[in-house]
Copies of this chain bind each other. A is one copy, B any other.
Amino acid sequence: MSTVGAGIPEPPREEPNSAWLTDQELEWARGRIPLLYVEAVPVRVDGLGVVTQVGVLLRANAAGEITRTLVSGRVMYGETIRDALFRHLEKDLGAMAFPLLPASPVPFQVAEYFPIPGLSAYLDERQHAVSLAFVVPVTGTCEPRQDALEITWVTPAEASSAAFHAELEGGRGTLLRAALASVGVLG
């Protein structure tokens, strides 16, 4: 059994880029420490850089419901934000998405997820997570892997609507609208 302090368990680092914490350790951390996440809004742009399409994931959540969400995941110990962003884009969009990561490391928004509602626009029942969110143009073919069922592409106008907004989980409708605003296409 895991113990803290003398007898600190070594996380299973022989599996690179997978879980670096045991389930128990992660559970412990989720109740003690704000965890760092990255999120990405994949977009398609035209030749002048104008966003023409916005990618949103369809996913089954823990309760088995189908919800819309964004590319998202935890930053691991020792991993740069760019590496984490690339890893989660590949995990959610497949190896042929060819994302163009931003030259700037500054996110368009910082989303603060709390386990109880009301502290911010964002809710994550599992944990206190702070997410650095980026708009990422993709130039290849997106084929969701793992738990993402499907990626749907919508126009900026559709993605701006209140109805669409409500379909995203955990307040990510707000984050999506901030993404659209940051690239000048919020309707």
Contacts and interface: CB of A to CB of B under 8 A. Distances in A.
A177 interface: yes
A64 interface: no
A9 to B, nearest CB: 7
B103 A132 contact: no
Contacts of A112: 80-81, 105
A162 B61 CA distance: 30
A110 B81 CA distance: 9
B132 A110 contact: yes
A114 to B, nearest CB: 7
Interface string A30-49: 01111110000001010111
Contact of A31 (B51, B77, B137, B186): B77
A175 to B, nearest CB: 10
A109 B109 contact: no
Contact of A109 (B2, B82, B184): B184
Interface stretch (A17-25, A65-73, A147-155): A17-25
Contacts of A178: 181, 184, 186
A63 interface: no
A3 interface: yes
Contacts of A86: 47-48
Interface string A125-163: 000101010010100000000000000000000000010
B2 A36 contact: no
A50 interface: yes
A154 to B, nearest CB: 16
Contacts of A167: none
